[in-house]
Amino acid sequence: MSYTNFLAFYHAYLASPKWRDIRSLALTRDCETCQSCNSHECLEVHHIHYKLLAREELDLSCLITLCRYCHEEEHRQQKKLRQLAFEYILKKKEAA
């Protein structure tokens, strides 16, 4: 599946009744509280990983409730880690 196809599937899934139900389960489990800063405002449900995408009901631990700010920060940190990993791999390749 191409990245473009994945994004189309992902956005359609996030608009589905199934996702709304699973999102509600995660929010309830987390007491409608950001698990990073304890805020109750602007809550979102973050996929820790996508291994169970569209099958999250099998293991809700792949989801975490975060406020919008903490969710954005989580994605910023993930982007930094991916960039560092990419740079590390390039340096190793160049050294070989």
> What are 41-56's pLDDT values in tens digits?
999 999 999 899 999 9
Of 56, 48, 70, 49, the C-alpha closest to 24 is 56
Inform me whether the pLDDT recorded for 39 exceeds 80: yes
The pLDDT, as a whole number, for residue 84 is 86
Band (70; pLDDT cuts 50, 70, 90): very high
Spell out the domain ranges in the chain: 3-95
Exposed / middle / buried, residue 47 (Cβ in 10 Å: 0-12, 13-18, 19+): middle
Inform me whether the pLDDT recorded for 33 exceeds 90: yes
